[in-house]
Amino acid sequence: MRGYRPQAAPCRHLGSDDRCEIHDRLRPEGFPGCEVFDCFGAGQQVVQVTFGGRSWREGQEVAGPMFTAFGTLRAVHEMRWYLADAGTRDLAADLADDVGRAADRLAALSAAGADALAALDVGDERRRIGELLDRVSQAVRAGRSRRPLRGADLLGRDLRKEALRGADLRGSLLIGADLRGADLRRADLLGADLRSADLRGADLTDALFVTGPQLAAARGDRTTRIPALVGRPSHWS
């Protein structure tokens, strides 16, 4: 049962109905990590579809495969999120077809059984999808900023005057960075670490591959413009 940890214990705030008892006050209770976590619907899918409504509480014979399936399916659903973003872009027909086929393949995986999910090489799938998303990124950002910021250590940097529109910020460390008023339109933010980054007044209107957890981990306000696919974090004032 790859990925299963028998010693893992339920959170002390998990209720008997499998709901978080402090969900409405996670941040003030000191659980900001829980507040920004998003399973991209994998939890519901695993319980309701993959395991047909069964519960991990039934015992290790259910819990082990279920936890393993959850880890795999969360990765699959996150990739589906990125492909959904890619599908909204104005792409050449051949590239749009590749995105569509990849989305269909992952949709089928999402509906697959536990054995199929256990057999999936998540690392290989991430590589394949990552290469496709890179092609999408290059097409969308063509003619814009080509600054070599992919994977850059920008921790705590003042980036307010930097030309970031269309920049490749994939996998960059933007922890605590000052991005107030920054123009991040069409910037590639896949996997960028935005924890405590100041996005007040920033424009991420059509930034690529932005997720809810990324924004929830950052600081923003009502003047922060965000992609249409992503909800505004509840704690942003």
Q: pTM (2 decimals)?
A: 0.85
80 and 165 co-located in one domain: no
Q: Whole-angstrom Cα distance, residue 93 to residue 50? A: 34
Residue pair 156/179 in contact (Cβ under 8 Å)? The answer is no
Closest CA to 79 of 35, 132, 37: 132
Q: Which of 120, 140, 160 is the last residue of a domain?
A: 140
Cα distances (angstroms) measured from residue 47 to each of 41, 61, 78: 10, 14, 17
Residue 24 covered by a domain: no
Helix or strand or coil: residue 92? coil
Q: Which of 140, 162, 182 is the last residue of a domain?
A: 140
135 and 157 co-located in one domain: no
Q: Which two tokens stand for residue 207?
A: 């930034």
Tell me the pLDDT of the chain (237 aa) as tens digits.
344 444 456 778 888 887 888 777 877 877 777 766 778 888 889 888 888 888 888 888 888 888 899 999 999 999 999 999 999 999 999 999 999 999 999 999 999 999 999 899 999 999 999 999 999 999 999 877 667 799 999 999 999 999 999 999 999 999 999 999 999 999 999 999 999 999 999 999 999 999 999 999 999 999 999 999 999 998 897
149 and 136 co-located in one domain: no
114 and 101 co-located in one domain: yes
The b-or-e profile of 197-229 (16+ CB within 10 A means b, else e) is: bbbbbbbbebbbbbbbbbbbbbbbeeebbbbee
57 and 81 co-located in one domain: yes
Residue 76 covered by a domain: yes
Residue 96 covered by a domain: yes
115 and 171 co-located in one domain: no
Based on the structure, what is the number of domains in the chain?
Answer: 2
Residue pair 202/214 in contact (Cβ under 8 Å)? The answer is no
165 and 214 co-located in one domain: yes
113 and 175 co-located in one domain: no
Residue 89 covered by a domain: yes
110 and 162 co-located in one domain: no
Q: Whole-angstrom Cα distance, residue 24 to residue 10? A: 19
Q: 47 is in which domain, residue-wise?
A: 38-140
Residue 31 covered by a domain: no
Residue pair 89/140 in contact (Cβ under 8 Å)? The answer is yes
Cα-trace Rg, the chain: 19
Helix or strand or coil: residue 219? strand
Looking at residue 54, what is its pLDDT? 87
Residue 26 covered by a domain: no
- Give Cα 220 distance to the centre of its chain: 18
91 and 64 co-located in one domain: yes
127 and 207 co-located in one domain: no
Q: Which of 118, 140, 162 is the last residue of a domain?
A: 140
Residue 110 covered by a domain: yes
Looking at residue 7, what is its pLDDT? 47
Closest CA to 232 of 200, 195, 196: 200
Q: Which two tokens stand for residue 225?
A: 């413009």
132 and 164 co-located in one domain: no
Residue 230 covered by a domain: yes
